[in-house]
Amino acid sequence: MQKTTIHAVIILGSAYLFFKYLLDFFAPFIVGFGIALLFEPFIRFLTHRGRFSRGLASFVTLVILALAGVSVGIWGISSFFREAGAFLEAAPDYIAALQKLLSSYPFLPISGLLDWTGEWLSAQSIRAVGHVPGILIWILLILVSAFFFSRDKDIILGSMTKWCPQWLAQYTQPVSIRLSNAATGFLKSELILFSMVAVVSIAALWLFNSPYAIMLGLIIALLDSLPVVGAGLVLWPWAGYLSLTNQHTQAAILIVLYGIVTVIRNILGPRILGNQIGMHPLVALMSIFIGIKAFGIAGLLAGPALVIITEAMLDTANPNDPCKT
């Protein structure tokens, strides 16, 4: 029992240090590993039924994934930039209307507020452009690592087992299986939640007769997926502006949309995540909350991962525990 406790402290301490200090360096490779796991059933189908070699099956799978991603990306990006261009053309009219509205409230620093907003948007645009090369490198690393993880899965796992200390080997298989299933489930749950929020937002904005439904719907879904930001960053100021301009029906639609998005993320989200990674929704919610507090955004992965590692180690150390269901 004492050895098991020491082993648990070493493993959990190492996992804590990894998520705290090293995750940024390995993040694209972890995502690539998750993608390889996500498409493992399709690769097995090609190797068993189609009699493909594993390398060819991995390559075909990634080509299909890349083509699908490029097709969806081209449609989404073209729609996004088309609507963004229309929005920028109409921006002076929106700014003039906002200035006229705010002039009714002399206690507000109108000019300073608008100048600050313009400077902030300009700075964020420059920062976003500056991140483009890094994002492209990330995508390349993810695709290449996903291919090699998928093609050489058995070799990689065999090497890890070979160089693994004997005391650690007893935990390697159950922990790796749990983490692999959890990584796949996490990607599925995030994709499901993002798709649900995007579809609901785009539909609501079309009902709203917004000419920027696709652009704003994708932005709302993206902001909603960020734990610190949230969809309210867009919806609440927009609803407030519409209320001040006596467009109460449109404001009500945005408030209802915010309520639906909140339900999807905070009520359905933990249930979907828990079902995908095999964890009770309350435990999933607590692990994410504590993980974010401890690690920041990385806690989205770190919190559930540490819980899964602990559960796997306890199951391994106590295989006949009568308290387990």
Q: What is the pLDDT of residues 166-209, one digit of tens each?
A: 666 667 767 777 777 777 788 788 888 999 999 999 998 888 78
Q: Are residues 128 and 21 in the same domain?
A: no
Q: What is the pLDDT of residue 126?
A: 62
Residue 286 has pLDDT above 80, yes or no: yes
Of the ranges 46-55, 141-150, 282-291, 308-317, which one carries the lowest mean pLDDT score?
308-317
Q: What is the pLDDT of residue 309?
A: 82
Asked whether residue 194 is domain-assigned, the answer is: yes
Task: Determine phi and psi for 164, rounding to 5 degrees.
Answer: -80, 135
Q: Are residues 235 and 102 in the same domain?
A: no
Whether the Cβ atoms of residue 259 and residue 272 lie closer than 8 Å to each other = no
Q: What is the pLDDT of residue 196?
A: 92
Q: Are residues 133 and 273 in the same domain?
A: no
Q: Are residues 70 and 175 in the same domain?
A: no
Q: Are residues 218 and 305 in the same domain?
A: yes
In the predicted model, what is the mean pLDDT of residues 138-158?
Answer: 82
Last residue of a domain, one of 152, 176, 208: 152
Asked whether residue 323 is domain-assigned, the answer is: no
Q: Are residues 176 and 137 in the same domain?
A: no
Whether the Cβ atoms of residue 293 and residue 299 lie closer than 8 Å to each other = yes
Q: Are residues 198 and 98 in the same domain?
A: no
* Percent with pLDDT over 90 in the chain: 4
Last residue of a domain, one of 152, 175, 207: 152
Asked whether residue 34 is domain-assigned, the answer is: no
Asked whether residue 322 is domain-assigned, the answer is: no
DSSP for 132-163, please give it: HHHHHHHHHHHHHHHHHHHHTHHHHHHHHHHH
Mean confidence (pLDDT) of the chain? 77
Q: Are residues 7 and 45 in the same domain?
A: no
Last residue of a domain, one of 152, 183, 199: 152
Domain hosting residue 266, numbered range: 1-26+167-317
Asked whether residue 324 is domain-assigned, the answer is: no
Whether the Cβ atoms of residue 4 and residue 317 lie closer than 8 Å to each other = yes
| 175-191 burial: b if 16+ Cβ within 10 Å, else e | beebbbebbbbbbbbbe
Asked whether residue 117 is domain-assigned, the answer is: yes
Q: Are residues 218 and 117 in the same domain?
A: no
Q: Are residues 173 and 232 in the same domain?
A: yes
Asked whether residue 31 is domain-assigned, the answer is: no
Asked whether residue 274 is domain-assigned, the answer is: yes
Q: What is the pLDDT of residue 156?
A: 79
Any idea what DSSP says for residue 210?
A: -
Q: Are residues 221 and 309 in the same domain?
A: yes
Q: Are residues 185 and 304 in the same domain?
A: yes
Q: Count up the domains in the chain and report the number.
A: 2
